[in-house]
Chains A and B, each alone.
Chain A
Protein backbone atom coordinates (compact mmCIF):
# COMPACT_ATOMS: atom_id res chain seq x y z
CA UNK A 1 0.00 0.00 0.00
CA UNK A 2 3.03 2.26 0.19
CA UNK A 3 5.77 3.11 -2.29
CA UNK A 4 8.73 2.02 -0.19
CA UNK A 5 6.96 -0.97 1.33
CA UNK A 6 5.94 -2.04 -2.18
CA UNK A 7 9.52 -1.84 -3.39
CA UNK A 8 10.65 -4.15 -0.62
CA UNK A 9 7.80 -6.60 -1.21
CA UNK A 10 8.34 -6.76 -4.96
CA UNK A 11 12.05 -7.39 -4.51
CA UNK A 12 11.59 -10.04 -1.84
CA UNK A 13 8.40 -11.90 -2.62
CA UNK A 14 8.05 -14.88 -4.86
CA UNK A 15 6.72 -13.86 -8.25
CA UNK A 16 2.96 -14.33 -8.48
CA UNK A 17 2.32 -13.94 -4.78
CA UNK A 18 1.89 -10.19 -4.87
CA UNK A 19 -1.81 -9.39 -5.21
CA UNK A 20 -1.67 -5.64 -5.41
CA UNK A 21 0.63 -2.65 -5.12
CA UNK A 22 0.02 1.08 -4.89
CA UNK A 23 -0.61 2.86 -8.19
CA UNK A 24 2.46 4.99 -7.55
CA UNK A 25 4.67 1.92 -7.67
CA UNK A 26 3.65 1.25 -11.28
CA UNK A 27 4.89 4.69 -12.31
CA UNK A 28 8.52 4.55 -13.45
CA UNK A 29 8.99 8.17 -12.37
CA UNK A 30 8.11 7.21 -8.82
CA UNK A 31 9.57 3.75 -8.37
CA UNK A 32 12.59 1.90 -9.76
CA UNK A 33 10.72 -1.40 -9.57
CA UNK A 34 7.83 -0.28 -11.73
CA UNK A 35 8.67 -2.99 -14.24
CA UNK A 36 8.02 -5.62 -11.56
CA UNK A 37 4.56 -4.22 -10.94
CA UNK A 38 3.54 -4.44 -14.57
CA UNK A 39 1.13 -7.33 -14.22
CA UNK A 40 -0.16 -6.49 -10.75
CA UNK A 41 -3.49 -4.97 -9.77
CA UNK A 42 -3.09 -1.38 -8.64
CA UNK A 43 -4.70 0.09 -5.54
CA UNK A 44 -5.14 3.61 -4.29
CA UNK A 45 -4.74 2.95 -0.59
CA UNK A 46 -8.48 2.48 -0.02
CA UNK A 47 -9.54 -0.30 2.32
CA UNK A 48 -12.34 -1.48 0.00
CA UNK A 49 -9.88 -2.18 -2.79
CA UNK A 50 -7.74 -4.31 -0.47
CA UNK A 51 -10.67 -6.26 0.91
CA UNK A 52 -11.87 -7.13 -2.58
CA UNK A 53 -8.60 -8.95 -3.23
CA UNK A 54 -8.71 -10.99 0.00
CA UNK A 55 -4.98 -10.96 0.64
CA UNK A 56 -3.24 -13.14 3.21
CA UNK A 57 -1.03 -10.28 4.30
CA UNK A 58 -1.11 -6.50 3.97
CA UNK A 59 2.16 -4.59 3.98
CA UNK A 60 1.89 -0.88 4.70
CA UNK A 61 4.23 1.95 5.50
CA UNK A 62 4.36 4.22 8.52
CA UNK A 63 2.59 6.99 6.66
CA UNK A 64 -0.13 4.96 4.99
CA UNK A 65 -3.57 6.27 5.90
CA UNK A 66 -4.11 5.29 9.50
CA UNK A 67 -7.85 4.90 9.05
CA UNK A 68 -7.31 2.27 6.35
CA UNK A 69 -4.86 0.33 8.50
CA UNK A 70 -7.19 0.33 11.51
CA UNK A 71 -10.13 -0.79 9.42
CA UNK A 72 -8.24 -3.62 7.80
CA UNK A 73 -6.98 -4.84 11.14
CA UNK A 74 -10.45 -4.76 12.58
CA UNK A 75 -11.68 -6.86 9.68
CA UNK A 76 -9.14 -9.46 10.59
CA UNK A 77 -6.46 -8.87 7.97
CA UNK A 78 -2.90 -9.04 9.23
CA UNK A 79 -1.26 -5.69 8.60
CA UNK A 80 2.43 -5.18 9.13
CA UNK A 81 4.15 -1.81 9.03
CA UNK A 82 7.48 -1.39 7.38
CA UNK A 83 9.74 1.49 8.26
CA UNK A 84 13.34 1.90 7.18
CA UNK A 85 15.56 3.89 9.57
CA UNK A 86 18.18 6.06 7.81
CA UNK A 87 21.15 3.79 8.42
CA UNK A 88 22.65 0.89 6.46
CA UNK A 89 22.12 -1.39 9.44
CA UNK A 90 18.54 -0.29 9.54
CA UNK A 91 18.04 -1.16 5.89
CA UNK A 92 19.44 -4.63 6.45
CA UNK A 93 17.21 -5.21 9.50
CA UNK A 94 14.10 -4.07 7.68
CA UNK A 95 14.70 -6.32 4.69
CA UNK A 96 15.61 -9.30 6.84
CA UNK A 97 12.50 -8.97 9.05
CA UNK A 98 10.19 -8.64 6.09
CA UNK A 99 11.99 -11.51 4.42
CA UNK A 100 11.37 -13.66 7.47
CA UNK A 101 7.64 -12.83 7.50
CA UNK A 102 7.34 -13.66 3.82
CA UNK A 103 9.35 -16.84 4.23
CA UNK A 104 12.00 -15.48 1.88
CA UNK A 105 14.93 -14.99 4.25
CA UNK A 106 17.29 -16.37 1.69
CA UNK A 107 16.28 -13.76 -0.87
CA UNK A 108 16.61 -10.98 1.73
CA UNK A 109 20.07 -12.06 2.73
CA UNK A 110 21.13 -12.26 -0.90
CA UNK A 111 19.88 -8.74 -1.66
CA UNK A 112 21.57 -7.21 1.37
CA UNK A 113 24.84 -9.03 0.79
CA UNK A 114 24.87 -7.84 -2.80
CA UNK A 115 24.23 -4.26 -1.63
CA UNK A 116 27.17 -4.47 0.80
CA UNK A 117 29.43 -5.97 -1.87
CA UNK A 118 28.68 -3.18 -4.30
CA UNK A 119 29.48 -0.56 -1.70
CA UNK A 120 32.65 -2.41 -0.79
CA UNK A 121 33.73 -2.18 -4.43
CA UNK A 122 33.02 1.53 -4.47
CA UNK A 123 34.93 2.08 -1.25
CA UNK A 124 37.92 0.29 -2.75
CA UNK A 125 37.87 2.59 -5.72
CA UNK A 126 37.77 5.61 -3.44
CA UNK A 127 40.57 4.10 -1.32
CA UNK A 128 39.97 6.44 1.58
CA UNK A 129 40.59 9.61 -0.42
CA UNK A 130 38.55 12.77 0.05
CA UNK A 131 36.96 13.53 -3.30
CA UNK A 132 35.31 16.86 -2.61
CA UNK A 133 32.08 18.50 -1.53
CA UNK A 134 28.73 17.78 -3.09
CA UNK A 135 25.43 19.55 -3.05
CA UNK A 136 22.34 17.63 -4.04
CA UNK A 137 19.74 19.82 -5.63
CA UNK A 138 16.11 18.92 -6.05
CA UNK A 139 13.39 21.04 -7.55
CA UNK A 140 12.61 24.28 -5.72
CA UNK A 141 16.04 24.35 -4.18
CA UNK A 142 15.42 21.38 -1.91
CA UNK A 143 18.33 19.32 -0.73
CA UNK A 144 19.06 16.37 1.52
CA UNK A 145 20.95 16.90 4.76
CA UNK A 146 21.57 14.91 7.91
CA UNK A 147 20.42 12.50 9.13
CA UNK A 148 19.53 10.70 5.94
CA UNK A 149 20.59 7.65 4.01
CA UNK A 150 21.71 9.79 1.10
CA UNK A 151 24.07 11.64 3.37
CA UNK A 152 25.58 8.35 4.55
CA UNK A 153 25.97 7.15 0.99
CA UNK A 154 27.94 10.27 0.15
CA UNK A 155 30.20 9.80 3.13
CA UNK A 156 30.94 6.19 2.13
CA UNK A 157 32.14 7.28 -1.29
CA UNK A 158 34.45 9.99 0.00
CA UNK A 159 32.27 13.08 -0.39
CA UNK A 160 31.09 15.70 2.08
CA UNK A 161 27.52 16.97 1.89
CA UNK A 162 27.38 20.76 1.65
CA UNK A 163 23.80 20.70 2.88
CA UNK A 164 25.03 19.69 6.32
CA UNK A 165 27.25 22.77 6.47
CA UNK A 166 24.21 24.84 5.59
CA UNK A 167 22.32 23.34 8.50
CA UNK A 168 19.78 21.37 6.52
CA UNK A 169 18.03 18.47 8.27
CA UNK A 170 16.60 15.39 6.66
CA UNK A 171 15.11 17.41 3.82
CA UNK A 172 15.12 21.19 3.43
CA UNK A 173 15.46 24.23 1.19
CA UNK A 174 18.52 26.27 0.38
CA UNK A 175 18.55 29.61 -1.39
CA UNK A 176 20.31 30.17 -4.67
CA UNK A 177 22.69 32.57 -3.01
CA UNK A 178 23.58 30.10 -0.26
CA UNK A 179 24.36 27.52 -2.94
CA UNK A 180 26.69 29.88 -4.75
CA UNK A 181 28.40 31.07 -1.61
CA UNK A 182 29.00 27.51 -0.40
CA UNK A 183 30.80 26.80 -3.71
CA UNK A 184 30.30 23.02 -3.82
CA UNK A 185 32.79 21.07 -5.92
CA UNK A 186 30.10 19.00 -7.53
CA UNK A 187 26.37 19.21 -7.83
CA UNK A 188 23.96 16.33 -8.13
CA UNK A 189 20.55 16.88 -9.62
CA UNK A 190 17.58 14.82 -8.54
CA UNK A 191 15.61 13.86 -11.61
CA UNK A 192 11.87 13.82 -11.24
CA UNK A 193 9.59 14.44 -14.18
CA UNK A 194 11.96 16.93 -15.79
CA UNK A 195 9.70 17.51 -18.78
CA UNK A 196 6.59 18.84 -17.07
CA UNK A 197 7.05 22.61 -16.77
CA UNK A 198 7.02 24.07 -13.31
CA UNK A 199 8.73 26.88 -11.47
CA UNK A 200 10.31 24.20 -9.32
CA UNK A 201 12.24 22.80 -12.23
CA UNK A 202 13.12 26.28 -13.43
CA UNK A 203 15.21 26.86 -10.33
CA UNK A 204 17.42 23.97 -11.32
CA UNK A 205 18.32 25.59 -14.60
CA UNK A 206 18.77 29.10 -13.28
CA UNK A 207 21.51 30.91 -15.25
CA UNK A 208 23.41 31.53 -12.03
CA UNK A 209 23.84 27.82 -11.51
CA UNK A 210 24.56 27.16 -15.14
CA UNK A 211 27.29 29.78 -15.15
CA UNK A 212 28.65 28.60 -11.81
CA UNK A 213 29.05 25.11 -13.24
CA UNK A 214 30.70 26.60 -16.29
CA UNK A 215 28.16 25.03 -18.58
CA UNK A 216 28.83 21.56 -17.21
CA UNK A 217 25.77 19.52 -16.41
CA UNK A 218 25.02 18.40 -12.88
CA UNK A 219 25.25 14.71 -12.12
CA UNK A 220 21.77 13.33 -12.74
CA UNK A 221 20.31 10.79 -10.34
CA UNK A 222 16.71 9.62 -10.68
CA UNK A 223 14.92 10.47 -7.48
CA UNK A 224 13.17 7.12 -7.44
CA UNK A 225 16.50 5.47 -6.67
CA UNK A 226 16.97 7.30 -3.37
CA UNK A 227 13.49 7.94 -2.12
CA UNK A 228 13.39 4.57 -0.39
CA UNK A 229 16.20 2.83 1.45
CA UNK A 230 17.15 -0.21 -0.58
CA UNK A 231 19.40 -1.80 -3.21
CA UNK A 232 19.04 1.10 -5.61
CA UNK A 233 21.14 3.26 -3.32
CA UNK A 234 24.07 1.42 -4.78
CA UNK A 235 23.01 2.42 -8.27
CA UNK A 236 22.81 6.03 -7.17
CA UNK A 237 26.22 5.85 -5.51
CA UNK A 238 27.78 4.29 -8.62
CA UNK A 239 26.26 6.96 -10.85
CA UNK A 240 27.66 9.76 -8.70
CA UNK A 241 31.09 8.21 -8.27
CA UNK A 242 31.45 7.43 -11.96
CA UNK A 243 30.50 10.95 -12.95
CA UNK A 244 32.87 12.50 -10.45
CA UNK A 245 35.81 10.29 -11.41
CA UNK A 246 35.19 11.17 -15.04
CA UNK A 247 35.13 14.89 -14.29
CA UNK A 248 38.32 14.61 -12.30
CA UNK A 249 40.05 12.75 -15.08
CA UNK A 250 38.89 15.28 -17.68
CA UNK A 251 40.01 18.24 -15.63
CA UNK A 252 43.52 16.90 -15.21
CA UNK A 253 46.08 18.32 -17.63
Chain B
Protein backbone atom coordinates (compact mmCIF):
# COMPACT_ATOMS: atom_id res chain seq x y z
CA UNK B 1 0.00 0.00 0.00
CA UNK B 2 2.92 2.28 0.74
CA UNK B 3 3.91 1.96 -2.83
CA UNK B 4 0.54 3.29 -3.97
CA UNK B 5 0.63 6.31 -1.70
CA UNK B 6 4.08 7.42 -2.75
CA UNK B 7 3.25 6.53 -6.31
CA UNK B 8 0.18 8.72 -6.38
CA UNK B 9 2.10 11.47 -4.63
CA UNK B 10 4.71 11.21 -7.34
CA UNK B 11 1.99 11.14 -9.93
CA UNK B 12 0.26 14.31 -8.87
CA UNK B 13 3.51 16.20 -8.63
CA UNK B 14 4.25 15.03 -12.17
CA UNK B 15 0.87 16.28 -13.30
CA UNK B 16 1.59 19.63 -11.71
CA UNK B 17 4.97 19.86 -13.38
CA UNK B 18 3.48 19.03 -16.75
CA UNK B 19 0.80 21.63 -16.26
CA UNK B 20 3.47 24.16 -15.39
CA UNK B 21 5.35 23.26 -18.54
CA UNK B 22 2.34 24.02 -20.71
CA UNK B 23 1.72 27.23 -18.84
CA UNK B 24 5.36 28.19 -19.16
CA UNK B 25 5.34 27.53 -22.90
CA UNK B 26 2.25 29.66 -23.33
CA UNK B 27 3.89 32.54 -21.52
CA UNK B 28 7.02 32.12 -23.62
CA UNK B 29 5.00 32.34 -26.79
CA UNK B 30 3.32 35.55 -25.68
CA UNK B 31 6.62 37.13 -24.67
CA UNK B 32 8.31 36.19 -27.93
CA UNK B 33 5.36 37.49 -29.91
CA UNK B 34 5.61 40.86 -28.23
CA UNK B 35 9.35 40.99 -28.83
CA UNK B 36 8.79 40.05 -32.46
CA UNK B 37 6.49 43.03 -32.92
CA UNK B 38 9.25 45.38 -31.94
CA UNK B 39 12.29 43.90 -33.64
CA UNK B 40 13.37 45.30 -36.96
CA UNK B 41 16.09 44.24 -39.32
CA UNK B 42 19.58 45.01 -38.09
CA UNK B 43 18.25 47.40 -35.52
CA UNK B 44 16.35 49.51 -38.02
CA UNK B 45 12.78 49.84 -36.92
CA UNK B 46 13.53 48.79 -33.38
CA UNK B 47 11.77 50.22 -30.37
CA UNK B 48 13.60 53.56 -30.53
CA UNK B 49 12.86 54.07 -34.21
CA UNK B 50 9.25 53.09 -33.77
CA UNK B 51 8.68 55.47 -30.92
CA UNK B 52 10.29 58.25 -32.96
CA UNK B 53 8.02 57.52 -35.89
CA UNK B 54 5.03 57.32 -33.62
CA UNK B 55 5.75 60.80 -32.41
CA UNK B 56 6.20 62.29 -35.85
CA UNK B 57 3.78 60.35 -37.93
CA UNK B 58 1.40 58.10 -36.03
CA UNK B 59 -0.16 56.87 -39.25
CA UNK B 60 3.09 55.36 -40.55
CA UNK B 61 3.73 53.82 -37.16
CA UNK B 62 0.34 52.20 -37.23
CA UNK B 63 0.86 50.91 -40.76
CA UNK B 64 4.26 49.50 -39.92
CA UNK B 65 3.02 47.75 -36.84
CA UNK B 66 -0.25 46.42 -38.12
CA UNK B 67 0.44 45.77 -41.79
CA UNK B 68 4.03 44.61 -41.61
CA UNK B 69 5.00 43.45 -38.13
CA UNK B 70 1.75 41.95 -36.99
CA UNK B 71 1.21 39.57 -39.91
CA UNK B 72 4.82 38.48 -39.64
CA UNK B 73 4.51 37.72 -35.94
CA UNK B 74 1.16 35.99 -36.21
CA UNK B 75 2.31 33.91 -39.15
CA UNK B 76 5.45 32.81 -37.34
CA UNK B 77 3.30 31.86 -34.37
CA UNK B 78 0.64 29.93 -36.27
CA UNK B 79 2.97 28.26 -38.76
CA UNK B 80 5.31 27.20 -35.98
CA UNK B 81 2.40 25.82 -33.99
CA UNK B 82 1.19 23.97 -37.08
CA UNK B 83 4.55 22.37 -37.73
CA UNK B 84 5.03 21.37 -34.10
CA UNK B 85 1.56 19.90 -33.81
CA UNK B 86 1.66 17.98 -37.07
CA UNK B 87 5.09 16.60 -36.19
CA UNK B 88 3.76 15.33 -32.87
CA UNK B 89 0.70 13.76 -34.50
CA UNK B 90 2.71 12.08 -37.25
CA UNK B 91 5.18 10.70 -34.76
CA UNK B 92 2.40 9.34 -32.57
CA UNK B 93 0.46 7.92 -35.48
CA UNK B 94 3.38 6.25 -37.19
CA UNK B 95 5.18 5.43 -33.93
CA UNK B 96 8.25 6.82 -35.57
CA UNK B 97 10.35 9.46 -33.84
CA UNK B 98 11.69 10.67 -37.19
CA UNK B 99 8.31 11.46 -38.71
CA UNK B 100 7.40 15.07 -39.40
CA UNK B 101 5.93 16.99 -42.32
CA UNK B 102 9.21 18.11 -43.86
CA UNK B 103 11.03 14.78 -43.70
CA UNK B 104 8.02 12.93 -45.04
CA UNK B 105 7.78 15.24 -48.02
CA UNK B 106 4.44 16.75 -47.03
CA UNK B 107 5.81 20.29 -46.90
CA UNK B 108 7.54 20.09 -50.28
CA UNK B 109 4.38 18.71 -51.85
CA UNK B 110 2.42 21.60 -50.41
CA UNK B 111 4.88 24.00 -52.01
CA UNK B 112 4.45 22.24 -55.35
CA UNK B 113 0.67 22.51 -55.13
CA UNK B 114 0.83 26.17 -54.20
CA UNK B 115 3.37 27.00 -56.92
CA UNK B 116 1.30 25.37 -59.64
CA UNK B 117 -1.81 27.23 -58.59
CA UNK B 118 -0.18 30.61 -57.99
CA UNK B 119 2.16 30.98 -60.94
CA UNK B 120 -0.16 29.55 -63.53
CA UNK B 121 -3.24 31.36 -62.37
CA UNK B 122 -5.24 28.20 -61.75
CA UNK B 123 -8.76 28.75 -60.44
CA UNK B 124 -8.80 32.26 -61.81
CA UNK B 125 -5.91 33.17 -59.57
CA UNK B 126 -8.21 33.89 -56.66
CA UNK B 127 -6.29 34.54 -53.50
CA UNK B 128 -7.78 31.56 -51.66
CA UNK B 129 -6.71 29.23 -54.45
CA UNK B 130 -3.04 29.23 -53.48
CA UNK B 131 -3.44 27.89 -49.95
CA UNK B 132 -5.95 25.38 -51.27
CA UNK B 133 -3.35 24.31 -53.80
CA UNK B 134 -1.02 23.69 -50.90
CA UNK B 135 -3.69 21.65 -49.15
CA UNK B 136 -4.20 19.52 -52.24
CA UNK B 137 -0.48 18.93 -52.63
CA UNK B 138 -0.08 17.77 -49.05
CA UNK B 139 -3.14 15.59 -49.21
CA UNK B 140 -1.82 13.65 -52.19
CA UNK B 141 1.61 13.25 -50.65
CA UNK B 142 0.55 12.25 -47.15
CA UNK B 143 -2.03 9.76 -48.41
CA UNK B 144 0.51 8.16 -50.68
CA UNK B 145 3.03 7.95 -47.91
CA UNK B 146 0.72 6.61 -45.25
CA UNK B 147 -0.76 3.95 -47.43
CA UNK B 148 2.54 2.87 -48.90
CA UNK B 149 4.80 3.19 -45.92
CA UNK B 150 2.43 3.05 -43.00
CA UNK B 151 2.90 -0.60 -42.33
CA UNK B 152 6.67 -0.55 -42.49
CA UNK B 153 8.17 -2.10 -39.41
CA UNK B 154 11.47 -0.36 -39.91
CA UNK B 155 11.13 3.37 -39.27
CA UNK B 156 13.81 4.07 -41.81
CA UNK B 157 11.74 2.75 -44.70
CA UNK B 158 9.23 5.52 -44.16
CA UNK B 159 11.97 8.10 -44.07
CA UNK B 160 13.37 6.82 -47.34
CA UNK B 161 9.95 7.15 -48.92
CA UNK B 162 9.85 10.70 -47.63
CA UNK B 163 13.27 11.45 -49.08
CA UNK B 164 12.14 10.24 -52.48
CA UNK B 165 8.99 12.32 -52.26
CA UNK B 166 10.98 15.39 -51.24
CA UNK B 167 13.31 15.00 -54.19
CA UNK B 168 10.44 14.57 -56.62
CA UNK B 169 8.45 17.49 -55.25
CA UNK B 170 11.47 19.81 -55.24
CA UNK B 171 12.33 18.88 -58.82
CA UNK B 172 8.78 19.42 -60.03
CA UNK B 173 8.57 22.73 -58.17
CA UNK B 174 11.73 23.93 -59.85
CA UNK B 175 10.40 22.81 -63.21
CA UNK B 176 7.10 24.57 -62.65
CA UNK B 177 8.84 27.77 -61.68
CA UNK B 178 11.01 27.66 -64.76
CA UNK B 179 7.98 27.19 -66.98
CA UNK B 180 5.95 29.91 -65.30
CA UNK B 181 5.02 32.99 -67.32
CA UNK B 182 6.62 35.41 -64.91
CA UNK B 183 10.38 35.91 -65.35
CA UNK B 184 10.78 36.35 -61.60
CA UNK B 185 9.41 32.91 -60.90
CA UNK B 186 12.61 30.92 -61.40
CA UNK B 187 14.43 33.00 -58.81
CA UNK B 188 11.64 32.75 -56.31
CA UNK B 189 12.39 29.11 -55.74
CA UNK B 190 14.58 30.21 -52.86
CA UNK B 191 11.49 31.44 -51.05
CA UNK B 192 9.59 28.22 -51.65
CA UNK B 193 12.39 25.90 -50.67
CA UNK B 194 13.66 27.81 -47.64
CA UNK B 195 10.66 29.75 -46.41
CA UNK B 196 10.26 33.27 -45.11
CA UNK B 197 7.87 35.34 -43.02
CA UNK B 198 9.01 38.65 -44.46
CA UNK B 199 6.65 40.86 -46.43
CA UNK B 200 3.59 38.72 -45.88
CA UNK B 201 0.41 40.68 -45.33
CA UNK B 202 -2.68 40.38 -43.20
CA UNK B 203 -4.48 39.23 -46.32
CA UNK B 204 -2.25 36.16 -46.44
CA UNK B 205 -2.90 35.49 -42.80
CA UNK B 206 -6.65 35.83 -43.08
CA UNK B 207 -6.73 33.27 -45.88
CA UNK B 208 -4.43 30.77 -44.25
CA UNK B 209 -5.77 30.93 -40.72
CA UNK B 210 -9.17 29.28 -41.21
CA UNK B 211 -7.56 26.46 -43.18
CA UNK B 212 -4.92 25.99 -40.52
CA UNK B 213 -7.65 26.11 -37.89
CA UNK B 214 -9.53 23.27 -39.56
CA UNK B 215 -6.31 21.32 -39.66
CA UNK B 216 -5.64 21.94 -35.98
CA UNK B 217 -9.06 20.69 -34.96
CA UNK B 218 -8.61 17.51 -37.00
CA UNK B 219 -5.10 16.93 -35.70
CA UNK B 220 -6.01 17.51 -32.06
CA UNK B 221 -8.94 15.13 -32.42
CA UNK B 222 -6.54 12.19 -32.70
CA UNK B 223 -5.12 12.76 -29.24
CA UNK B 224 -6.58 9.79 -27.38
CA UNK B 225 -5.88 7.36 -30.18
CA UNK B 226 -2.22 8.29 -30.13
CA UNK B 227 -1.90 7.10 -26.55
CA UNK B 228 -3.50 3.77 -27.40
CA UNK B 229 -1.31 3.45 -30.50
CA UNK B 230 1.77 3.19 -28.31
CA UNK B 231 0.63 -0.39 -27.83
CA UNK B 232 0.50 -1.05 -31.55
CA UNK B 233 -2.35 -0.97 -34.04
CA UNK B 234 -4.07 -4.19 -32.99
CA UNK B 235 -4.19 -3.24 -29.33
CA UNK B 236 -5.42 0.24 -30.20
CA UNK B 237 -8.18 -1.24 -32.35
CA UNK B 238 -9.15 -3.59 -29.55
CA UNK B 239 -9.43 -0.60 -27.21
CA UNK B 240 -12.18 0.74 -29.39
CA UNK B 241 -10.46 3.09 -31.83
CA UNK B 242 -11.36 3.17 -35.50
CA UNK B 243 -7.89 3.28 -36.96
CA UNK B 244 -8.94 4.03 -40.50
CA UNK B 245 -10.91 7.05 -39.30
CA UNK B 246 -7.99 8.22 -37.17
CA UNK B 247 -5.62 7.99 -40.12
CA UNK B 248 -8.01 9.92 -42.35
CA UNK B 249 -8.32 12.65 -39.76
CA UNK B 250 -4.55 12.84 -39.39
CA UNK B 251 -4.04 13.04 -43.16
CA UNK B 252 -6.71 15.69 -43.63
CA UNK B 253 -5.53 17.62 -40.61
CA UNK B 254 -1.96 17.63 -41.88
CA UNK B 255 -3.12 18.56 -45.34
CA UNK B 256 -5.13 21.56 -44.22
CA UNK B 257 -2.74 22.86 -41.62
CA UNK B 258 0.62 22.22 -43.28
CA UNK B 259 -0.72 22.85 -46.77
CA UNK B 260 -2.04 26.29 -45.94
CA UNK B 261 1.03 27.16 -43.90
CA UNK B 262 3.55 26.24 -46.58
CA UNK B 263 1.50 27.92 -49.30
CA UNK B 264 1.85 31.14 -47.35
CA UNK B 265 5.43 31.01 -46.13
CA UNK B 266 7.31 28.37 -48.11
CA UNK B 267 8.84 25.17 -46.78
CA UNK B 268 10.29 25.39 -43.31
CA UNK B 269 12.20 22.33 -42.29
CA UNK B 270 12.63 20.23 -39.19
CA UNK B 271 10.47 22.15 -36.72
CA UNK B 272 8.11 19.19 -36.47
CA UNK B 273 11.07 16.95 -35.69
CA UNK B 274 12.88 19.00 -33.09
CA UNK B 275 10.00 20.34 -31.00
CA UNK B 276 8.20 17.08 -30.12
CA UNK B 277 11.46 15.30 -29.51
CA UNK B 278 12.75 17.93 -27.09
CA UNK B 279 9.46 18.16 -25.21
CA UNK B 280 8.67 14.47 -25.04
CA UNK B 281 10.63 13.65 -21.85
CA UNK B 282 9.02 16.58 -20.07
CA UNK B 283 5.48 15.33 -20.55
CA UNK B 284 6.16 11.76 -19.56
CA UNK B 285 6.42 10.51 -23.15
CA UNK B 286 2.64 10.55 -23.48
CA UNK B 287 1.68 11.15 -27.09
CA UNK B 288 -1.57 12.83 -26.13
CA UNK B 289 0.06 15.37 -23.85
CA UNK B 290 2.67 16.04 -26.49
CA UNK B 291 0.13 17.64 -28.81
CA UNK B 292 -0.58 20.87 -26.91
CA UNK B 293 3.07 21.04 -25.80
CA UNK B 294 4.35 20.77 -29.38
CA UNK B 295 1.75 23.27 -30.55
CA UNK B 296 3.06 25.88 -28.13
CA UNK B 297 6.68 24.78 -28.45
CA UNK B 298 6.56 25.05 -32.22
CA UNK B 299 5.13 28.55 -32.00
CA UNK B 300 7.86 29.59 -29.58
CA UNK B 301 10.65 28.09 -31.69
CA UNK B 302 9.40 29.71 -34.86
CA UNK B 303 9.05 33.13 -33.24
CA UNK B 304 12.55 32.86 -31.80
CA UNK B 305 13.98 31.83 -35.17
CA UNK B 306 12.21 34.65 -36.95
CA UNK B 307 13.57 37.15 -34.44
CA UNK B 308 17.01 35.61 -34.93
CA UNK B 309 16.80 36.00 -38.70
CA UNK B 310 16.22 39.69 -38.24
CA UNK B 311 19.15 40.11 -35.92
CA UNK B 312 21.72 38.26 -38.01
CA UNK B 313 23.82 40.59 -40.12
CA UNK B 314 23.53 39.53 -43.73
CA UNK B 315 23.09 41.65 -46.80
CA UNK B 316 19.76 40.15 -47.67
CA UNK B 317 17.61 38.81 -44.88
CA UNK B 318 18.26 35.13 -44.30
CA UNK B 319 15.49 32.77 -45.20
CA UNK B 320 14.17 31.14 -42.07
CA UNK B 321 14.61 27.65 -43.45
CA UNK B 322 18.35 28.21 -43.26
CA UNK B 323 18.18 28.55 -39.48
CA UNK B 324 15.84 25.63 -38.97
CA UNK B 325 17.94 23.42 -41.23
CA UNK B 326 21.11 24.39 -39.39
CA UNK B 327 19.50 23.36 -36.13
CA UNK B 328 17.45 20.49 -37.45
CA UNK B 329 19.91 18.55 -39.59
CA UNK B 330 22.44 17.79 -36.84
CA UNK B 331 19.48 16.93 -34.65
CA UNK B 332 18.19 14.52 -37.29
CA UNK B 333 21.53 12.79 -37.56
CA UNK B 334 21.75 12.51 -33.80
CA UNK B 335 18.31 10.88 -33.69
CA UNK B 336 19.26 8.56 -36.48
CA UNK B 337 22.37 7.50 -34.63
CA UNK B 338 20.43 6.86 -31.42
CA UNK B 339 17.80 4.87 -33.29
CA UNK B 340 20.42 2.75 -34.96
CA UNK B 341 21.92 1.90 -31.64
CA UNK B 342 18.55 0.61 -30.52
CA UNK B 343 17.75 3.33 -28.05
CA UNK B 344 14.76 5.65 -28.16
Hey, which bits of chain A sit against chain B, CB under 8 A? 139-141, 173, 175-178, 180-181, 183, 192-193, 196-203, 206-208, 211-212
Asked if B6 lies at the interface with its beta carbon under 8 angstroms from chain A, I say: no
Question: Which residues on A sit within 8 Å (CB–CB) of B40?
Answer: 177
| Also in contact, A203 and B199, with CB within 8 A (given A173-B316, A180-B63, A212-B60) | yes
Question: Which residues on A sit within 8 Å (CB–CB) of B57?
Answer: 183
Tell me the nearest residue of chain B to A208, going by C-beta. Answer: B67
Question: Which residues on A sit within 8 Å (CB–CB) of B191?
Answer: 199
- Are B63 and A175 in contact, CB atoms less than 8 angstroms apart? no
- Are B199 and A141 in contact, CB atoms less than 8 angstroms apart? yes
- Are B182 and A198 in contact, CB atoms less than 8 angstroms apart? yes
Asked if B180 lies at the interface with its beta carbon under 8 angstroms from chain A, I say: yes
Highest count of chain A CB atoms <10 Å: which of B41, B63, B119: B63
Distance between A106 CB and nearest chain B CB, rounded to angstroms = 38
Hey, which bits of chain B sit against chain A, CB under 8 A? 40-41, 44-45, 49, 53, 57, 60, 63-64, 67-69, 118-119, 121, 125, 180-185, 187-188, 191, 198-199, 201-203, 316-317
Task: List 19 A-B residue pairs with CB atoms under 8 Å apart, sorted by A's residue number.
Answer: A139-B184, A176-B68, A176-B198, A177-B40, A177-B44, A177-B68, A178-B41, A180-B60, A180-B64, A181-B44, A196-B182, A196-B183, A197-B182, A199-B191, A201-B182, A207-B67, A207-B202, A208-B201, A211-B63
- Are B184 and A201 in contact, CB atoms less than 8 angstroms apart? yes
Known A200-B184, A207-B202; further 5 A-B contacts with Cβ < 8 A: A177-B69, A196-B181, A198-B188, A200-B182, A208-B67
A181 vs B48: C-alpha distance when bound (angstroms): 12
Tell me the nearest residue of chain A to B177, going by C-beta. Answer: A198
Chain B binding site: helix, strand, loop or mixed by DSSP? Answer: helix
Distance between A227 CB and nearest chain B CB, rounded to angstroms = 13
Q: Which of B64, B181, B184, B188 contacts A177 (CB 8 A)?
A: B64
- Are B199 and A206 in contact, CB atoms less than 8 angstroms apart? yes
Q: Which of B49, B68, B180, B317 contacts A198 (CB 8 A)?
A: B180
A199 vs B69: C-alpha distance when bound (angstroms): 18
Question: Which residues on B sit within 8 Å (CB–CB) of A181?
Answer: 44-45, 49, 53, 60, 64
Question: Which residues on B sit within 8 Å (CB–CB) of A139?
Answer: 184
Closest 7 CB pairs of A and B: A196-B182, A208-B67, A200-B184, A198-B182, A196-B181, A198-B184, A177-B45
A208 vs B198: C-alpha distance when bound (angstroms): 13
Distance between B267 CB and nearest chain A CB, rounded to angstroms = 14
- Are B64 and A208 in contact, CB atoms less than 8 angstroms apart? yes
Distance between A184 CB and nearest chain B CB, rounded to angstroms = 11
Question: Which residues on A sit within 8 Å (CB–CB) of B188?
Answer: 198-200
A59 vs B69: C-alpha distance when bound (angstroms): 50
- Are B53 and A176 in contact, CB atoms less than 8 angstroms apart? no
- Are B182 and A176 in contact, CB atoms less than 8 angstroms apart? no
